[in-house]
Amino acid sequence: MKAIYLLNWRGKVYGEATTDFVQAEPFNTGTDEDNCPACGGPVGMWSWEPPLRVELETWGSHFGDMAFGPGGDILISERFKDLWLKSGLMGLEGFDPVEIVKVVRRGKRFKDSPPAYVRVMPQRSQAALDFVASGMQWVKPPSPRCDVCREGGIKKGWERIVLEEEPRENICTVRGFGEVLVDEHFKRFVEENGLLNCPLVPAEEAAHWF
């Protein structure tokens, strides 16, 4: 199986290009949700609908080529987008323009203005998390458990990330796991292009406890 990595925006290791965002008003969510074909339960989160307006927060001396916020949306810089669209890699959708209404600089003073960002969403893969091999622990396990969507329950945390099968996508979420995963091709893409603020942790080391 190809190597898998957790896109570790929760890790909060403040780097030279750590960049976060929060949605600014008006914050509109979609009214449609996806439902599991097997159990009918909701899958994923509410969508964030245009106009997409954000407040950026930076912690280093550069703006990231990725910026992370609440929910599953990610901002990528125009440069990331152009390279991505030429790369042949797959797993991102959206590419919606974002308006920056405020920039808060928490780190060093630096004068660069932020790059143009677009909003992307990692696709939901058909691949699934292996709860047992991942050492998943529950505050409240899913009940009843649906083996198709694997939604529900409250997670306490996990020891590592083990998938049941290899995702086709180079960046995605998988059934049973809302965190964003990437593969070795994605890792090479960010390294070869020197893209900033794409923190990756190998799946076997990606323990997390809430």
Binding site for Zn ion (CB under 5 A): 36, 38-39, 146, 148-149
The answer to whether the CB of 48 falls within 8 A of the CB of 28 is yes
For residue 26, whether the previous peptide bond is cis, meaning omega lies within 30 degrees of 0, is yes
Minimum CB separation of residue 45 from Zn ion in Å reads 16
Residue closer to Zn ion by CB (options 42, 94) is 42
Minimum CB separation of residue 164 from Zn ion in Å reads 16
**Count of CB atoms situated within 10 Å of the CB of 132:** 8
Residue closer to Zn ion by CB (options 176, 199) is 176
Minimum CB separation of residue 33 from Zn ion in Å reads 13
Q: Residues for the chain: how many in total?
A: 210
Distances (CA, A) of 103 to 62, 74, 78, 95: 12, 17, 17, 21
Residue closer to Zn ion by CB (options 38, 85) is 38
Residue closer to Zn ion by CB (options 74, 149) is 149
The residue to which tokens 């896109």 are assigned? 7
Minimum CB separation of residue 172 from Zn ion in Å reads 18
